Amino acid sequence: MIDDVFCKIIHGEIKSETVYKDDDFWVIHDINPQAPVHLLIIPAKHFTSLEDFMEGNNNGLLGKALVIAHKVAHDVGIAEKGYRLILNEGEYGGKLVPHLHIHLLGGKKLGPKIVG
């Protein structure tokens, strides 16, 4: 079993504030929010990177992740004014947890900058 924090959450070893879950994805609150709403869309199956989706028959899950992001944005009330999706990939992309995940941020005007 992979031993990253998101796998531990999915396997019930660490508690999280879950907003949505199904057989393929969990959506949880980020523990270090960068916006009033900062959620993480996490595949239930461990994928280290986008490259992992290219193996087997997993590429349909990426589309599903975006559909879930849209649904959850509506559910938490940020869809009308807008939100941002961020996927950090690799060391230079700023990925901190070796489990693919998408950040969903909103609840305030985020502005055009995404890097400092």
pLDDT in tens, 3-58: 888 999 999 899 999 999 999 999 999 999 999 999 999 999 998 888 887 777 77
The residue from 11, 29, 99, 101 that is catalytic is 101
Residue 111 gets the label, from left (phi > 0), alpha (psi -120 to 50) or beta, of left
Q: Is the dihedral of CA 95, 12, 85, 63 positive or negative?
A: positive
- pLDDT confidence bin for 116, thresholds 50/70/90: very low
Q: Which amino acid is at 100?
A: L
**Fold (CATH) for 5-106:** HIT family, subunit A (3.30.428)
Please spell the DSSP secondary structure of 96-114, one letter per residue: -SSS--EEEEESS---S--
Q: Does residue 2 carry a pLDDT above 80?
A: no
Overall average pLDDT of the 101-107 stretch = 96
Top-confidence residue, 81 or 112 = 81
pTM: 0.90
Q: Which residues contact 88 (CB under 8 A, 6 or more apart)?
A: 94, 95, 96, 103
The mean pLDDT of the chain is 90
Overall average pLDDT of the 71-85 stretch = 97
Top-confidence residue, 55 or 60 = 60
Active site residue 29: no
| Nearest alpha carbon to residue 41 among 81, 6, 83, 80 | 6
Measured CA to CA in angstroms, residue 13 lies from 3, 26, 82 at distances of 10, 15, 33
